Amino acid sequence: MWQEFKKFISRGNVIDLAIGIIIGGAFGKIVTSFVNDIIMPPIGLLLGKIDFSNLFIDLTGTGYKTLAQAKEAGAPTLNYGVFLSTVIDFLIVAFVIFLIVRQLNKMKKPEPAPAPATKTCPYCATEIPIQATRCPHCTSQL
């Protein structure tokens, strides 16, 4: 069983997948920081100095001023500002992945078209095999 596991783990696909997951996790952190620290503050400023990380609905009706106060008190909240940031985070990651896959598809060499199997007789215009030296319909020498 150990040998089978070693064979499985040493395949290139498994190692490539592991590297992709690690890089993806690091990239996710960069995008999260980009969204929370670069994108959301100007959007919040444009919408009237709103801090998206502090947008929440207090389900107890107590009226906490900040999300931190509500969490400290253990109040149940709907954190829709954090959810909006996460959705924007996802959209940016999905768009970047789309761009990468699009570029990789452009870099692939197109498969050559298969060689034609037939040709047209220049005398009677019928389809004949490519290797034919005489047309079977009009008996012309090709």
Q: Is the pLDDT of residue 103 over 70?
A: yes
Can you state the percent helix, strand and coil of the chain, rounding each to 5?
Answer: 55, 10, 35
Question: What is the tens place of the pLDDT at every residue in 70-99?
Answer: 888 888 988 888 898 888 888 888 888 888
Contact 126, 137 (CB under 8 A): yes
Question: What is the tens place of the pLDDT at every residue in 14-62?
Answer: 777 778 888 888 888 888 888 888 888 888 888 787 777 788 888 888 8
Residues 136, 101, single domain; the answer is no
Q: Which two tokens stand for residue 66?
A: 């900040």
Residues 133, 93, single domain; the answer is no
CATH number, domain containing residue 7: 1.10.1200.120
Residues 65, 130, single domain; the answer is no
Q: What residues make up the domain containing 93? A: 2-108
Residues 11, 43, single domain; the answer is yes
Reported confidence tier of residue 139, pLDDT bands at 50, 70, 90: confident
Residues 8, 60, single domain; the answer is yes
Contact 67, 56 (CB under 8 A): yes
Q: Is the pLDDT of residue 8 over 80?
A: no
Residues 75, 58, single domain; the answer is yes
Residues 103, 124, single domain; the answer is no
Reported confidence tier of residue 9, pLDDT bands at 50, 70, 90: low
Residues 121, 98, single domain; the answer is no
Among candidate residues 54, 58, 53, the one with its CA nearest the CA of residue 77: 58
Residues 63, 85, single domain; the answer is yes
Q: What is the mean pLDDT of the chain?
A: 83
Residues 98, 72, single domain; the answer is yes
Contact 128, 140 (CB under 8 A): no
Q: Is the pLDDT of residue 100 over 80?
A: yes
Q: How many domains does the chain have?
A: 2
* Model confidence, pTM: 0.56
What is the maximum span of the chain, computed from C-alpha positions, in angstroms?
A: 98
**Cβ contacts of residue 76 below 8 Å, gap of 6+?**
59, 60
Q: Which two tokens stand for residue 70?
A: 């509500």
Residues 65, 132, single domain; the answer is no
- Calpha distance 116→112 (Å, rounded): 12
Position 7 scores a pLDDT of 74
Q: What is the DSSP letter of 53?
A: G
Residues 81, 123, single domain; the answer is no
Contact 79, 51 (CB under 8 A): no
Question: What is the tens place of the pLDDT at every residue in 50-78?
Answer: 777 788 888 888 888 888 888 888 889 88
Name residue 114's amino acid. P
Q: Is the pLDDT of residue 12 over 70?
A: no
Count of CA atoms in the C-beta half-sphere (13 A) of 119: 12
